[in-house]
Structures are given as C-alpha cells and as structure tokens.
Amino acid sequence: MSAPHELAASSSAASAAGLPPRRLAWQRFIAHPAALPSLLLLLALALGALAAPFVEGLLGVDATRADLFGRYEAPSSAHPLGKDELGRDLLVRLLYGGRVSLGVGLTAALAAMVIGSLVGVIAGYFGGSLDAFLMRLADTIIALPLLPLLIVLAAVDLGKLGMPPALVQSEMASFWQIVVLIALFGWTTVARLVRGSVMSLKRREFVRAAEALGAGPWRIMLRHLLPNALSPILVATTLSVGNVILLESVLSFLGLGIQPPLPSWGNMLSGAQETLWAAPRLAIWPGILIFATVIAFNFLGDALQDAVDPRAPRGA
C-alpha cells in the first residue's frame, strides 16, 4: 500500500529538483507498466515489415508467386510458417501485409490528425457562428454509424466517380481509398480536443502579446496555439491508429478494403476463412498480429496520456 506514496514522493522530488518537463514526461511514460513492452513490440513489427524484401531474398521465395502443388505446406526450415492456400510463403506475406496494415493505420491517423487539428484550432480561435457550424458538423459525423457507412462508401466503384483509369487500376487504389474514407470521418475526436485546448489557451498572456505585436490569426494559430495543444493531439492520434487498423481489417475481411494481390492482415484473414479447419494457422497468425498491434497502440496511447497529463496517477 505504500508504493503509490513512494511514487508520488519520488515525482515530487524530481519536480523539486527542477527537471525539465520533457524529462518528467519521459519518467512518467516509462513508469507505465505497458509502455516499453508496447513500444518495443510496435518497433519490432515495424522493423519486420520494413525488412520484408530482405527476408524474402534470404529465404529465396517470391511472395507473389503461387505454387498450387505446395498449398498448405507445413512449416519447415525453408518456410518457417509454412505456405498459404495458394502455396505462397506465409511469413513473407505476413511481413508485406504488415506494411500495408500499419501503413493504412499510420497514414489515415495522421491525415485525420491534420484535418482535426485545423478544424479544432479554427473553431476554438474564431468562435461564434463558425465554431457552432464546425462543431455541429463534427456532432453529425459522430452520430453516423461509422462501420456501415464505410462499408457502403468502400463498395463504390472509383471508375464511376470519374477517377483516372490508371488510378482505378492501380494496385494501391484500395489503399488510398481506405485512407481517404477513414480520414474524412475520423477527425472529430482530435478537432474537439484541439478546440477545447485553444479556447483555454487563447486567453493566455503570450497570445495577447502576439496580437499586440501585430501577429495575424494564422500565425497565432499555427505558431503559438497548435504547438501548445500538441499533447492531446499526440495521445488521440496514437489511440486512433489501433482503431484504424481494426477498421481496415474488418473492411478487408469483408472484401471491401485492401484488394489482392496487395496483402494486408485483414484480407489474409478473409482468404483463410474457408480453410479455417484444414489450416487454422492461416487465420491464427494474421489474427494474432492484428490483436497485438491494436492492443499495443492502445497501451501506448494510455501511457502517453499518463505522461503528458499532470493530473494522471503516477505509475498507472
């Protein structure tokens, strides 16, 4: 029972010693029991995804070449995780799938962060009818059932929307379609957080001083307000990455997300559903990776929240 008091005392001592805020935030971050394991796991997954071509060359396989005579081949030294339903190396496919799934999660979360930050800082700084309009727009998007909406929009044929044929037929078309859709409907949380921070910060002395020196609204918003609202932005974005990966996996599992031959953990699960009993490892491995990645990003977001929030319990 004395541990919380000891942690509080040590934190107070660190503050009294005059440690910089970043050092204190780092100490609070590493004090979170799941912070470092989650960070190391995500780094390992990212490095594995980046090393996919190297692993492919090391094993002497081609991730895209089918071998129908080697379907469902058991794990061996040549194929550490065996082969999938088309005779492709499962390990290399998982690594390439990680590139796509992690890429969708990070890209869509960053795009939503940019949109939400701009909407939030404009609404919070200008206020009035513009603030009311933007926040009612955010409320409307929040009220929409996100997954059914994404399913409907992901099923839209890009060719019928007048998109260039080269883009429609591109292997990355489904990637960017998912990123755009999630970014367009995923900015609301960041916008509301930034708006609240900006409404509090714009009354501070440094903003008044910038206005007195003749700084324009955009300079004040981008140079003074947004940097001081960075902490909630980072926390919300980190937490949203896991949700985006989960959404992409669901859409790909339904056949409306990342389209083959481009691999993702979601469409690998979709391809394995018909052989779940014959070769369960084809579904187990991508399922484990999705689960571990989403949990790790959620734990990392919780740790960041504890680190940047001085009111959060130390060591929580």
The second-level CATH assignment, the architecture, of 42-58+92-308 is Orthogonal Bundle (1.10)
pTM for this one?
A: 0.85
198: nearest Cα among 245, 109, 130, 262: 130
Please say whether the beta carbons of 95 and 108 come within 8 A: no
What's 4's DSSP letter? H
Measure the CA–CA gap between 185 and 227, rounded to whole angstroms. 24
Write the CA distances from 210 to 50, 198, 206, 226, 248, integer angstroms: 44, 15, 6, 14, 43
94: nearest Cα among 111, 114, 108, 79: 79
209-245 per-position pLDDT tens digit: 888 888 888 988 888 888 888 888 988 999 899 999 9
What's 162's DSSP letter? T
pLDDT value of residue 51: 94
246-294 per-position pLDDT tens digit: 999 999 888 888 888 889 999 898 888 878 787 888 999 999 999 999 9
pLDDT value of residue 270: 86
Flag residues of the chain having pLDDT under 70.
1-19, 21, 309-316
pLDDT value of residue 309: 67
pLDDT value of residue 169: 78
Measure the CA–CA gap between 124 and 198, rounded to whole angstroms. 5
SS3 230: helix
Q: Which residues contact 308 (CB under 8 A, 6 or more apart)?
A: 25, 231, 232, 234, 235
pLDDT value of residue 11: 44
Domain boundaries, the chain: 42-58+92-308
pLDDT value of residue 192: 94
The type of residue at 149 is: L
Write the CA distances from 195 to 54, 116, 182, 198, 228, integer angstroms: 45, 9, 21, 5, 12
Using the Cα atoms of residue 58, residue 64, residue 69 and residue 73 in order, give the sign of their dihedral: positive
Residue 51 token pair: 């090393």
Q: Which residues contact 146 (CB under 8 A, 6 or more apart)?
A: 185, 247
pLDDT value of residue 279: 85
